[in-house]
């Protein structure tokens, strides 16, 4: 889908639900809403729109690539602890998007707020994944450790297990249940996302970025990057 067409559709749907585009950076948009219900309804309409576009693409056979959209919904105040505009809210929404398996993911606080807004009406479950407090605690502990350790080339499952205080079997079940991936696959995907950010910002050459994101070999990094993004890093930086 043409980026201009997508941006037009996005703005139209967001406006329909009283949303305000607060920040746009690359493929990530930060949107605020007056109520949880408005945010959830907007999210569901955006998913429906993308599904409709993908169906049209498939029927016309003009492209083999589907649009992908993932939405993380978190609550918060514009300024929290003087750390910048919606900083904690953005961090939580990013974690929901980057780590949790699903198309629309919300935290436990938003589930409570939704049910309060709608006279204790149960959150509609279809297409929406609401984390419970225990899942949120695990998500934040996992991401805190990962964000501080992903650049270590010697990082292993054992390190996560020790830091999080879980056996390997417990860790595997929790990570698989949350992310839909094994820990090793999740770690590799996370490193590749970080590498993509660095490449787009031109913060180092390919070898430097490979090592900075925890890969032992630039050749292996290029192979993994190509498998995920369909392009070699060397082609991307030209």
> pLDDT tens-digit profile of 26-43?
677 889 898 888 999 999
Residue 15 has pLDDT above 70, yes or no: yes
Contacts of 50 (CB under 8 A, 6+ apart): 67, 68, 69
Residue 222 has pLDDT above 80, yes or no: yes
Confidence at 22, pLDDT banded by 50, 70, 90 = confident
The span from the first CA to the last CA of the chain, in angstroms, equals 24
Mean pLDDT (whole number) for 43-60: 76
Mean pLDDT (whole number) for 70-74: 91
pLDDT at site 132: 92
Confidence at 16, pLDDT banded by 50, 70, 90 = very high
**Cβ atoms of residues 222 and 228 within 8 Å:** no
Contacts of 9 (CB under 8 A, 6+ apart): 49
Q: Which long-range contacts (CB under 8 A, 24 or more apart) does 112-121 make?
A: 113/36, 113/75, 114/36, 114/37, 114/40, 117/35, 117/36, 117/37, 118/37
Q: From CA 80, how far away is CA 87, in angstroms rounded?
A: 7
Tokens coding 2: 């043409």
More confident residue, 180 or 236: 180
pLDDT at site 66: 63
Tokens coding 29: 């948009």
Residue 236 has pLDDT above 80, yes or no: yes
> What would you measure as the largest C-alpha separation in the chain, in angstroms?
57
pTM of the model: 0.85
Confidence at 63, pLDDT banded by 50, 70, 90 = very low
> pLDDT tens-digit profile of 117-149?
887 677 766 788 999 999 999 999 999 999 999
Confidence at 1, pLDDT banded by 50, 70, 90 = low
> pLDDT tens-digit profile of 156-215?
999 999 999 999 999 999 999 999 999 999 999 999 999 999 998 888 899 999 999 999
> pLDDT tens-digit profile of 74-121?
887 665 555 556 678 888 888 999 899 999 999 988 888 888 888 767
Is the dihedral angle over the CA atoms 184, 67, 98, 130 positive or is it negative?
negative
């Amino acid at each position: 889908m043409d980026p201009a067409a997508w941006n037009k559709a996005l703005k139209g749907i967001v406006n329909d639900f009283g949303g305000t585009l607060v920040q746009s950076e690359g493929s990530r948009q930060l949107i605020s809403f007056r109520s949880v219900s408005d945010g959830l309804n907007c999210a569901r309409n955006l998913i429906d729109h993308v599904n409709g576009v993908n169906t049209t693409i498939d029927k016309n056979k003009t492209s083999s690539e589907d649009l992908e959209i993932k939405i993380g919904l978190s609550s918060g105040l514009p300024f929290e602890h003087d750390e910048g505009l919606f900083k904690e809210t953005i961090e939580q929404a990013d974690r929901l998007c980057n780590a949790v398996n699903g198309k629309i993911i919300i935290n436990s606080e938003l589930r409570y707020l939704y049910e309060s807004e709608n006279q204790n009406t149960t959150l509609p479950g279809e297409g929406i994944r609401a984390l419970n407090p225990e899942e949120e605690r695990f998500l934040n502990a996992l991401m805190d450790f990962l964000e501080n350790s992903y650049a270590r080339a010697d990082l292993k499952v054992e390190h996560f297990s020790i830091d999080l205080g879980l056996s390997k079997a417990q860790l595997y079940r929790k990570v698989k249940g949350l992310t839909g991936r094994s820990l090793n696959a999740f770690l590799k995907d996370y490193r590749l996302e970080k590498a993509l950010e660095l490449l787009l910002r031109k913060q180092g050459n390919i070898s430097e970025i490979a090592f900075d994101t925890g890969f032992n070999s630039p050749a292996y990094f290029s192979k993994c990057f190509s498998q995920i993004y369909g392009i070699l890093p060397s082609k991307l930086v030209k």
